[in-house]
Amino acid sequence: SPQSKSPVIKPINKGVVHRICSGQVILDLSSAVKELVENSLDAGATSIEIALKEYGEEWFQVIDNGCGISPANFKVVALKHHTSKLADFPDLESLTTFGFRGEALSSLCALGNLTIETRTKNEPVATHLTFDHSGLLIAEKKTARQIGTTVTVKKLFSNLPVRSKEFHRNIRKEYGKLISLLNAYALTAKGVRLVCSNTSRKNLKYVVIKTQGSGSLKDSIIQVFGMNMFNCLEPVSICISDDCKIEGFLSRSGQGSGRSMGDRQYFFVNGRPVDMPKVSKLVNEIYKGANSKQYPVAIMNFIIPTRACDVNVTPDKRKVFFSDESMILQSLREGLQQIYSSSNASYIVNGVD
């Protein structure tokens, strides 16, 4: 109701603000796990294990053999905007790590119960750390562990009532989205062994994804999707300009095997998994001209100079802006048309100009 007196403006409780903002960084199960996997990649891990209990509903854990966190950083590691990856704004242009905002761990603290076990090469033993919802370190004890880091999050969203209800109701869908995202990392992370397992309520553990981290995209595709699927693909290379190109694999015109629009379509910018709805639409549209009964599988990496793209558009960093998007789409369109129009298609296409 309208007030006759001007209301008093008061600051919102800090903890509440933190919880609200964190809910924008960590949107769902897959964005939570994605942040942890990216931290492991940034830490130089060559082995990453993702363990889920009850599809992540109870807890999830990311175990790596990366560089570990040094004791000097224990107190600040989960504080908002504390990062080891970026100090100045100009750094953003030359960024090569996945993370840089220092928000993931602090947000996960706000939304669930976070613990870390970590050990660097300089420590003889590991340390188990417990954090509170504001990211403060509240307990610390020694434990046994190899070099690397394990981050565990229990009861995600338990203190956001509406999100929590959604999370539990949609858990199978969230889990499906997570597996598709982990497939993307399994495809792109060269030389990184990636394993994902889920443990059921009855304590049965089953492995969902397992790659050896061989180093070639071909091997990763075979390990993630199987040999039959790989045999329906053709390597593709489309040159856009001197320093821009698209590389990957596409379904042959008669052998699409995506089950639905967008199924088994993975897009990357400089190896970073991203959403590219316009690209997906274009690929489907042109493929349809050659094969109207099936959907194409597409695994495509856009190699673009970092100065010509911005991944810092949305908090989950899944959206990209290109300085010349129309040129990229135009080259892609012409490349795809060339690939799918002729009967003896070559999937190697050189520049438009």
Q: In the complex, which residues of this chain contact ligand ADP (CB under 6 A)?
A: 35, 39-40, 43, 64, 66-69, 77, 83-85, 99-106, 149
Least distance from Mg ion to the Cβ atom of residue 149, Å? 12
283 close to 336: Cβ distance less than 8 angstroms: yes
CB-nearer residue toward ligand ADP: 178 or 299: 178
If contact means CB under 5 to 8 A according to the sort of partner, which of Mg ion, ligand ADP, none does residue 112 touch? none
CB-nearer residue toward ligand ADP: 149 or 223: 149
Query: What are 143's two structure tokens?
Result: 């434990």
Query: What are 272's two structure tokens?
Result: 């970073």
If contact means CB under 5 to 8 A according to the sort of partner, which of ligand ADP, Mg ion, none does residue 84 touch? ligand ADP
User: Which residue is nearest to ligand ADP, using beta carbons?
Assistant: 99
Least distance from Mg ion to the Cβ atom of residue 152, Å? 16
Burial class (CB in 10 A: 0-12, 13-18, 19+), 3: exposed
User: Which residue is nearest to Mg ion, using beta carbons?
Assistant: 99
Least distance from ligand ADP to the Cβ atom of residue 314, Å? 15
CB-nearer residue toward Mg ion: 104 or 156: 104
Burial class (CB in 10 A: 0-12, 13-18, 19+), 112: buried
DSSP code for 307: G
Least distance from ligand ADP to the Cβ atom of residue 310, Å? 16
Least distance from ligand ADP to the Cβ atom of residue 103, Å? 6
Q: Of 173, 182, 339, 164, nearest to 246 (Cα)? A: 339
205 close to 199: Cβ distance less than 8 angstroms: yes
CB-nearer residue toward Mg ion: 35 or 174: 35
Burial class (CB in 10 A: 0-12, 13-18, 19+), 164: middle
